[in-house]
Every structure is written in structure tokens, then in C-alpha cells.
Chain A
Amino acid sequence: MDKFRMIFQFFQSNQESFMNGICGIMALASTQMYSAFDFNCPCLPHYNLAYGLGILLVPPFILFLLGFVLNNNISMLAEEWRRPQGQRGKDPAVLRYMFCSMAQRAMIAPAVWVSVTLLDGKCITCAFCTLVPVETLGNASHLQLSQGEVQRVLARIPCKEIYNGQQLIANEVAVRYLRCISQALGWCFVLLMTTLAFLVRSLRPCFSQAAFLKCRYWSHYIDIERKLFDETCAEHARSFAKVCIQQFFEGMSTDLVAARCHLPRKAPADAAEAAEKLLGITDWGTMNMALKSWHRCKPPLHLHPPALSTGNGWAGEGQPPTHPSAPRRETAAYYSWV
């Protein structure tokens, strides 16, 4: 029991660190995705904003959904939410707790993408290069350019090779300005996210610790119960299949014996077990017939109890000795973390 408890505790702590590890991996993956992505600003007035903001906002949304998809517990949450009440009440606080903890973990990779994007600066430079204050940073008044022309020139700021507005505003000045704004936004975003996380984590013990403990217990319970039910069903299916197949072979062998009118030979004691395992099928033809019958005409999903098995009346020897009852299996350690 002690050993069992130790293993269980190990898995319990390990599952939590496993989930945290998945979060960390997704965050690293999002950084890697960003550095592998070949950012290519279109440098055209109306396309820049769409492209820049698209790269800033669409991948986080994808990563957020991916965070939910990769979380095994989402199906458990959906099941608990949609099940009919039946004899067991539903507690919305538990559902909220499960959803919140999944959402918090799914938010990490998108937040990392947005931070890395803002701190790098390319997206904001691309998106807002047409809004650079040319009056303060450059020489707007010297050149007689129409508004549209100015926009077109400014849109080329991210593309240094084709930039032709050095007299209007120096490329480095504009890029440094935009990057400074982008990095300031990035650090503010990271600070905001960290402060929110800190507040959420530290205010909870101050206000609703008892409710939190309750929700955590019942969400663990639901997860463990589902896993245990699956394992019990699997065990049942295995036994069902075993008995079904045994009865199939017994039926076959009884039929064969009836057809051939052989008297059964009493197998010597030491070969009894081997003979039993053969289930009365001892030659090529019979085996082929058994296999064909298994394919063409599977037995119904209905086990008859052994005492009433359909012998042909011939079976004067009664049942072959049954196996000693299998020792009850130790159920495996279960872990749950939502």
C-alpha cells in the first residue's frame, strides 16, 4: 500500500510538471516559429497595416486554439458540461474552474508570440510606417509632395533597398522611432500579463480558498473517475471477448465431435493442460473450418452461462477443468491533473 501510494504521488507530481512542460514547449515552439518565419513586408500603403497586424494577431489565435486541442481534458470538460443531470447534480463552479485552468495554460504560447513580435519590432514597423510623424522627425515642408505620394514613400520604410525618401525622412531615424515604440509596447504588454498572472495567483488564497479546494478536488475526481471507468470497461471487454471466444471454440469442438462420432480419449494427466488449450481442434481441416466460421459467422454478443452450455448430451465427462480464477489485477496508478 505504501509503495502504491509513493508511486501514485510520483505520478501526481509528474503529471503537473508534464502539463507545465507542454506549456513551456509550446512557448518555445512559438518563439522558434517566429524566428523561422520569413517576415516580408509588402511596402505598399494599404497592405502594410493588414499584413503587419495580421502577423501580430492571427498566429496567437491559432496557438490559443492549438493549446485547447492538445489538452486532453477538453473532451472531459465538454462531456461534463453536456451530460444530463440524472442522479448527480452539476456544479457550475467546477466547470468554470476546469475551463479557467485550461484557458490559462492555452494563453501562454499566444502571449509569448505577441511579446516576441512586439520586442522584435518588424510587425509594428511594417504596420505603422505610414503614420510616422514626418513633421517632427523629417522635412515634410521642403518637398512638395501630395498626401498620396508621401504615403507611398513612407510605406517603403521597412524595405531599405527600395526606399527613396531620404530627403523626406531618414530611414534609420524612422525605423529606430518605430522600433522604440514597438519595444515599449512589448515590454508594457509583458508587464501587464505578468501582473495579471501574479494578481490572479495571489488574490485567490485571499478570497475563495475553500471554494477553490472544493473545485479542484471535484475536477480531479471527474478526471479519475472517467479514466477508471474506461479501464473497467476495457477489463470487461477483455473478459467478454475471452469468454465469447472460448464458447465459440467449445461450440465448434462439440459440433465436430458430434459430426465424427469419435469417442474422446482421456488425455493423460500431464498432457491435459495442453490438450485443453487445443480446445478440441487438432488438425488442419478443423482449424480452417474454425477460422472460416469465425470470419463468416461471428458468434452473437451474448454469453451463455457455463452451467447451461449447449452440449449435445454427449459430453458425459462434464466440463473440462476450468482454470484457477485469475488473481485480481492491481489497478494501475492513476493520475489526474486538470
Chain B
Amino acid sequence: MDRFRMIFQYFQSNSESVINGICGLLALASVKMYSSFDFSCPCLPQYNMAYGLGVMLVPPVILFLCGLILNRQSLVMLEEWRRPQGRRKKDLAVIRYMCSSIMQRAMVAPVVWIIVTLLDGKCLICAFSGSMDPEKFVGFANVSTVQVQQLLAKVPCKDDELMRNNTSRKAVSRYLRCWSQALGWTILLILIIAAFLARWLRPCFNQATLLQARHWSNYIDIEQKIFEETCCEHSRLFAHKCILHFFESMRQEIKLHSFSLPKEGEGAEGEEDLLRGITDQDQVNKLLKSWYYEKPPLDV
């Protein structure tokens, strides 16, 4: 019993560390995805902004949804939210707690993607190079409006023939990258301060409610797991009984139809038990055929 309780506690703490592990893995996966993604700015006036902002904002949505899908607790929370009240009251505080904990974990990977994108700078350079003021940069100052748009749009493409050794291109690129990195670090700083404050100040407000909500959300999760395990165990026992029943009924049928003398209980009892009265090829074939054509009713 003690051992069972130890393993039980292990599983309980483990599910939280499993979820944290998944969260960390998703964050690592988002960094890996970014580095293996071949960012290739179209360098065309109308497409740059859409591409740059798209690469910065669409994958975070995907990562957020992945974070929700991979978290088992989100299903548990939804079930608890949608279940009919029945004889057990529903506590909205528990549901809110579960929701906020799921959202917090799901937000880690998208935030990592956005920060990595900003610190790298390519997306912002691609998206906003066309919106630069050409007067600020010597190489673009005395060019006609249409052409300047084309040239600015080509800034992210270092290898383009027009831009290969253009110092103004490098200036625009450095300027935008500087802004991008500043934005990235600022967002990171704000988020870390917010997380720090939230964690430190939480015990000052409603600690008792929080403890209750956490306890009951753990409870709901564990109850769900145990219910599934009990169902599996039950179905195994049900199947076992059903099959024994089936063999028994086969044995009865054979006894009825054959004329062999009934055996006394002695003899190789162990083997006889396992043979369950089925002792020749025809009987075995009949049993197998009957199993396929007429499965026994689900009624033991």
C-alpha cells in the first residue's frame, strides 16, 4: 500500500513536470524551427511587409495552438467546464485557475519565437525597409519616388545586383536591426519583470483561494486518470470472463453432442483445466469458427 502511494505521488508530481517538460521542449523546438527556416525576403514593394510580419506573427499562433493541444489538462478543463452539474457543484475559480495555468504554459513557445525573431532582426528589416524615410540615407536621397520604393524594398537582399556594395543599404539594414533588437530586449525585460512580480506578489492576494483552486484542479486531473485506468482494468476483466464463458459454453455443447463417458476429476488436472474440454482438431476448428461468426453476447 505504501509503495502504491509512493508511485501515486510520483505520478502526481510527475504530470506537472511532464507538462513543464513539454513546454520547454516546445520552446526549444521553436528556436530550432526558426534557425532551420530559410528566411527569404521577397524584396518586392507590396510583398515585404506581409512576408515579414507573417513570419513574425503566424508561427506564434501555431505554437500557441500546439501548446494547447499537447497539454492534457486543457481537455480536463474543458470537460469540467461543459459537464452537466449533476450532483457535484462546479467551482468557477478552479476552472479559471486551470485555464490561466494552461494559457501561461502555452504562451512560452510563441513568446520565445517572437523574441528570437526580433533579436535576429531579419523579419523587421524585411517588413519595414520600404517604410524608411529615404531622406535620411545618402544613397536614396536623390532618387525618384517610384525607384526609391523599389530600392528600399531590395535592402534585405544583400546579394541583389543593385544592392551588392551599396553602403546606404548597410546603413538602413543596421538601423532597422538596431530597432528590432531594442524592441526584442525590451519585450523580454517587460515579460520577465511581469513574471517576477506575478510570482512574488501572488501570495499577498487570496492565497487561501489559490491553494483551494490548485488542490481541486489536481484532484480533477487525478480523478480523470484513475477513471480511465479503472475502465481499462474493468474491460480486461470483462474480456477475461467473457472468454472463459465462451469456452465453457463450448465445452457444454461438446458434452451434449458427444458420447464420451464423463471423466472423473483425477488425472492431469492442471492440463485438463487448460484444455477446457476441447481435445481434438474438429472441436478446435469449431471453436475458432464460432468465435468469428458468433461472438458471445456482452453479458457475463
> Are B62 and A303 interface neighbours, CB within 8 A?
no
> Are B82 and A88 interface neighbours, CB within 8 A?
no
CB distance from A155 to the nearest CB of B (A): 21
- B239 in complex: contacting residue of A9, A119, A120, A221, CB < 8 Å: A221
Q: Is A325 an interface residue (CB 8 A)?
A: yes
> Are A301 and B264 interface neighbours, CB within 8 A?
no
Q: Is A292 an interface residue (CB 8 A)?
A: no
Given contact pairs A236-B278, A303-B275, A201 touches B69 in the complex (Cβ within 8 A): yes
Q: Which of B232-289 contact A (CB under 8 A)?
A: 232-233, 235-236, 238-240, 242-243, 247, 260-261, 263-264, 266-271, 273-276, 278-281, 284, 288
> Are B271 and A88 interface neighbours, CB within 8 A?
no
Chain A: interface residue total (CB-CB under 8 A): 75
| Closest A residue, CB atoms, query B228 | A12
- B82 in complex: contacting residue of A173, A190, A206, A238, CB < 8 Å: A206
With A and B bound together, what is the CA distance between A324 and B40 in angstroms? 78
- A209 in complex: contacting residue of B41, B79, B161, CB < 8 Å: B79
With A and B bound together, what is the CA distance between A288 and B144 in angstroms? 106
Q: Which of A6-42 contact B (CB under 8 A)?
A: 6, 8-9, 12
CB distance from B255 to the nearest CB of A (A): 12
CB distance from B275 to the nearest CB of A (A): 5
> A residues within 8 A CB of B260?
305
- A180 in complex: contacting residue of B47, B269, B273, CB < 8 Å: B47
Given contact pairs A209-B82, A301-B281, A326 touches B270 in the complex (Cβ within 8 A): yes
> Are A228 and B240 interface neighbours, CB within 8 A?
yes
> Are B82 and A235 interface neighbours, CB within 8 A?
no
Chain A window 218-239, contacts with chain B (Cβ cutoff 8 Å), 1 for yes, 0 for no: 0011001100110011011011
| Closest B residue, CB atoms, query A187 | B58
> Are A306 and B41 interface neighbours, CB within 8 A?
no
Q: Which of B49-107 contact A (CB under 8 A)?
A: 50-51, 54-55, 58-59, 61-62, 65-66, 68-69, 74-75, 78-79, 81-83
| Closest B residue, CB atoms, query A17 | B18
Given contact pairs A190-B62, A197-B69, A205 touches B44 in the complex (Cβ within 8 A): no
Given contact pairs A172-B160, A197-B69, A239 touches B240 in the complex (Cβ within 8 A): no
| Closest A residue, CB atoms, query B234 | A217
Stretch at the interface among A57-65, A79-87, A270-278: A79-87
> Are B295 and A86 interface neighbours, CB within 8 A?
yes
Q: Is B138 an interface residue (CB 8 A)?
A: no
> Are A173 and B43 interface neighbours, CB within 8 A?
yes
Q: Is B205 an interface residue (CB 8 A)?
A: no
> Are A229 and B232 interface neighbours, CB within 8 A?
no
> Are B240 and A331 interface neighbours, CB within 8 A?
yes
With A and B bound together, what is the CA distance between A121 and B37 in angstroms? 11
CB distance from B286 to the nearest CB of A (A): 13
CB distance from A305 to the nearest CB of B (A): 5
> A residues within 8 A CB of B66?
194
Chain A window 72-84, contacts with chain B (Cβ cutoff 8 Å), 1 for yes, 0 for no: 0000000100011
> Are B65 and A176 interface neighbours, CB within 8 A?
no
- A2 in complex: contacting residue of B4, B51, B68, B229, CB < 8 Å: B4
> Are B44 and A83 interface neighbours, CB within 8 A?
no
Q: Is A69 an interface residue (CB 8 A)?
A: no
- B243 in complex: contacting residue of A228, A306, A335, CB < 8 Å: A228
Q: Which of B182-240 contact A (CB under 8 A)?
A: 228-229, 231-233, 235-236, 238-240
| Closest B residue, CB atoms, query A319 | B267
> Are B276 and A242 interface neighbours, CB within 8 A?
no
> A residues within 8 A CB of B275?
236, 239-240, 243, 303
> B residues within 8 A CB of A305?
260-261, 263, 267, 279
With A and B bound together, what is the CA distance between A187 and B42 in angstroms? 15
CB distance from A197 to the nearest CB of B (A): 6
> Are B47 and A87 interface neighbours, CB within 8 A?
no
Q: Is A141 an interface residue (CB 8 A)?
A: no
With A and B bound together, what is the CA distance between A309 and B55 in angstroms? 83
> B residues within 8 A CB of A188?
58
With A and B bound together, what is the CA distance between A194 and B70 in angstroms? 11
CB distance from A31 to the nearest CB of B (A): 10
> B residues within 8 A CB of A323?
268, 270
- A205 in complex: contacting residue of B69, B75, B247, CB < 8 Å: B75
With A and B bound together, what is the CA distance between A119 and B261 in angstroms? 76
Chain A window 321-332, contacts with chain B (Cβ cutoff 8 Å), 1 for yes, 0 for no: 011111110010
> B residues within 8 A CB of A12?
228-229, 232
| Closest A residue, CB atoms, query B238 | A221
- Interface on A for B, CB 8 Å cutoff? 2-3, 5-6, 8-9, 12, 79, 83-84, 86-88, 119-121, 137, 170, 172-173, 176-177, 179-180, 183-184, 187-188, 190-191, 194-195, 197-198, 201-202, 205-206, 209, 217, 220-221, 224-225, 228-229, 232-233, 235-236, 238-240, 242-243, 300-303, 305-308, 319, 322-328, 331, 334-336
Would you mind naming 29 contact pairs between A and B with Cβ atoms under 8 Å apart?
A2-B3, A9-B229, A12-B232, A84-B294, A87-B295, A88-B294, A120-B38, A172-B161, A176-B41, A177-B42, A177-B44, A183-B40, A194-B66, A198-B69, A202-B78, A209-B79, A221-B239, A228-B239, A236-B274, A238-B274, A243-B275, A303-B280, A305-B279, A306-B267, A308-B261, A325-B273, A327-B270, A334-B236, A335-B232
Q: With contacts A137-B44, A180-B40, A205-B79 known, what are 4 further pairs, Cβ within 8 A?
A: A12-B228, A180-B41, A191-B62, A194-B66
- Interface on B for A, CB 8 Å cutoff? 1, 3-4, 7, 37-38, 40-44, 47, 50-51, 54-55, 58-59, 61-62, 65-66, 68-69, 74-75, 78-79, 81-83, 157, 159-161, 228-229, 231-233, 235-236, 238-240, 242-243, 247, 260-261, 263-264, 266-271, 273-276, 278-281, 284, 288, 291-298
